[in-house]
Structure 1
Amino acid sequence: MVVIGVALLAGCYLVGMLIGDLLGLALGVEANVGGVGFAMVLLVVVADQLRRRGHLEPVSEQGILFWSAMYIPIVVAMAATQNVVSAVSGGPMAIIAGVAAVAVCLALVPVLARIGGRAEALPPLRDDEAMEAVR
């Protein structure tokens, strides 16, 4: 049932926001610190655990997958918009810090890519598996 997906999404969002608010209080910041991120991680973990334990009917699982797919891009886009507005109105130091963080992450991509080593390519899908993956 899609309702279970909505309930799981709402519960994860509320718990994530609570954790973000508590983290903000602990750090002395009057803001939610990472609440959206905590909610997304919690949604992924809880849905995976329910799926592994067999507590989800296929229809319920589809509802959770649908709402998690809708939730993540929308909430991240909303949070990113708020962060950009705050950074631009906060002055040049916030913009410099953001640009520096992105530059460091981009510089570390080749370093992190070398850590794992080479892996074998996945075998090609059979025709019936390919058709099932498309559906």
Structure 2
Amino acid sequence: MVVYGVAALALCLLIGELIGEALGIAVGVDANVGGVGFAMILLVLVTDRLRRRGLFPESSERGVMFWSSMYIPIVVAMASTQNVAEALTGGPMAIVAGLAALAAAAALVPVLARIGPPADPLPPRGEGDDARLAGSARTKEA
């Protein structure tokens, strides 16, 4: 049922928020540190394990998929509650942390690109590709 998927998402969100609050207290910040991120990682791990065991039917997955389409607006709303201006004027730590995260992510791109077997390259793009792709999209909708 769809409700079970939403319940799994809600449980993961509550646990992630608790982890984020505990991490904020541990580092001495009066804020939730990464609660939504922890929740999403937990949701991916839990749903993958349940799917592999056959305990997460497609109808439950629809509940998760509905809210996953809302993920970006929720994160934007949560980020808007953080006082970014205060963090930047309070010292260079926010900038250093952001640049460190950017550098780490950029360094991991080649590592992640090597995961899995190499795939065949895509065929060259031709003139009729746009019309063909639009036609195949229409046939999938029907």
Give the match for residue 86 of structure 2. 89
Shift of residue 26, structure 1, vs aligned partner:
1.8
CA RMSD of aligned residues (A): 3.3
Gaps in structure 1 of 5+ consecutive residues: 125-129
1:42 to 2:39 alignment: no
1:79 to 2:109 alignment: no
Counterpart Cα distance in 2 of 1:94 and 1:87: 12
Shift of residue 51, structure 1, vs aligned partner:
1.0
Residue identity matched to 1:45: L
Residue identity matched to 1:50: L
Higher helix share: 1
Q: Secondary structure at the match of 2:81?
A: helix
- 1:42-74 CA-to-partner distances (Å, cap 9, x unmatched) read 11111111111101222122222222332x212
Asked if the contact 1:2–1:59 (Cα under 8 Å) also holds between the matched residues in 2, the reply is yes
Q: How many residues align?
A: 123
Higher Cα Rg, which structure:
2
Percent identical: 41
After TM superposition, the score normalised by the length of structure 2 is: 0.66
- 1:82-102 CA-to-partner distances (Å, cap 9, x unmatched) read 34xx22133163664366347
Counterpart Cα distance in 2 of 1:98 and 1:65: 32
Counterpart Cα distance in 2 of 1:55 and 1:103: 37
1:13 to 2:10 alignment: no
Gaps in structure 2 of 5+ consecutive residues: 124-135
Q: How does 1:1-135 map to 2 (within 5 A)?
A: 1-70=1-70, 72-83=71-82, 86-90=83-87, 91=89, 93=92, 96-97=95-96, 100-101=99-100, 104=103, 108=106, 112-113=109-110, 116=114, 119-121=118-120, 134=140
After TM superposition, the score normalised by the length of structure 1 is: 0.69
Counterpart Cα distance in 1 of 2:84 and 2:97: 8
Q: Relative to structure 1, is the Cα distance of residues 112 and 2 closer, same or farther in structure 2, using a 3 angstrom cutoff?
A: closer
Residue identity matched to 1:75: I
